[in-house]
Amino acid sequence: MTGSDVRARNEALLRWYRTNKRDLPWRDIGDPYSTLVSEIMLQQTQVDRVIPRYESFMARFPSVHDLARAHRIDVLEEWSGLGYNARAVRLHEAAAIVSRSGWPEDLTTLPGVGPYTAAAIGSMAMGRAEPAVDTNLRRVISRWLGAPLEGRALTEAAQSVVGEPAGDWNQALMDLGSSLCTTKHPACDECPVTDFCADPTVYSSPRPQARFAGSRRELRGALVRAHVRGADLRDAGMEMGRTADEVDRAIADLSAEGLLPA
Ligand code: SF4
């Protein structure tokens, strides 16, 4: 594919995005804190569930300084129900660093911020030309190029095709991947870049989801919620049919991670 094909594909993608983009409360704000909060919430939670929780969180902690000053239990209370509570702890720690020292050049030095989240914040709120490589982007770009890409090959491929502005390009890929270029049944007839796509069958089998009921994650979430409402933690765990050993181990781990008081 020539450079002009790559440009034409990006122009078609961005045109489609401007007309079809989802109306999300953290979009087009250009504020790294809003992007950080939304991206941390989106790490393991669906967009529809995140929207009301994001709005409530931002109403309670409107700036990075407000979040940094908040008590941990208030942050966990506001996070309650989103699950994976370690995310709230890391977000709180990141806010403390940013409030004290400003945004670091290397965003991955912040707790909870990996390469994807750093690229999302950098491109959407700091004008950086970085592709935010997640499973959606991996699937779409692999289909564009006609081969399943992983690791370094994927990162280099994404860097070679990223459009401008990169923030819009990343969000366009997220929307394309969640609406048309889905895992099992890509809607290629409706796709704005169908003329530039090598193989729609790449990555057409979803990976199996881990079972939640009866899992350690379920127990950990229940213990943190019990703590927030002031209930007895051991009782809460035992009522779920877990053994005393399991509950004690989970409490000890959560305390070590800062999710429960030591
Ligand atoms: S043409 Fe089909 S497979 Fe290719 S990007 Fe569009 S929806 Fe995905």
For 31-83, the pLDDT digits (tens) are: 999 999 999 999 888 999 999 999 999 999 999 999 999 999 999 999 998 98
Mean pLDDT of 120-132: 96
Residue 185 domain-assigned (yes or no): yes
Residue nearest to atom 3 of ligand 1 (CA): 200
Ligand 1 residue neighbourhood (C-beta within 6 Å):
140, 143, 180-181, 186-188, 191, 193-194, 197, 200
- Report CA-CA distances (Å) from 256 to 68, 89, 197, 244: 20, 12, 48, 18
User: Which ligand 1 atom is the nearest neighbour of the CA of 191?
Assistant: 6
Asked if the model's pLDDT at residue 115 lies above 90, the reply is: yes
Same domain (yes/no): 49, 88: yes
29 and 130 together in one domain = yes
Q: Is the pLDDT of residue 104 over 90?
A: yes
Q: Kindly give the number of the ligand 1 atom that is closest to the alpha carbon of 200.
A: 3
CATH of the domain at 71: 1.10.340.30
Residue pair 76/68 in contact (Cβ under 8 Å)? The answer is no
For residue 209, is it within any domain?
Answer: no
Q: Which residues contact 249 (CB under 8 A, 6 or more apart)?
A: none
Residue 208 lies inside a defined structural domain of this protein: no
Q: Hey, how many other C-beta atoms are within 10 angstroms of the C-beta on 80?
A: 17
Count of domains forming the chain? 2
Residues with active-site annotation = 39
Residue type for position 99? S
The reply to whether 190 and 222 lie within a common domain is no
Identify the domain containing residue 41 by its residue range: 3-196
Please identify which residue in the block is written with the tokens 């990141």: 94
| Mean pLDDT to the nearest integer, 215-219 | 84
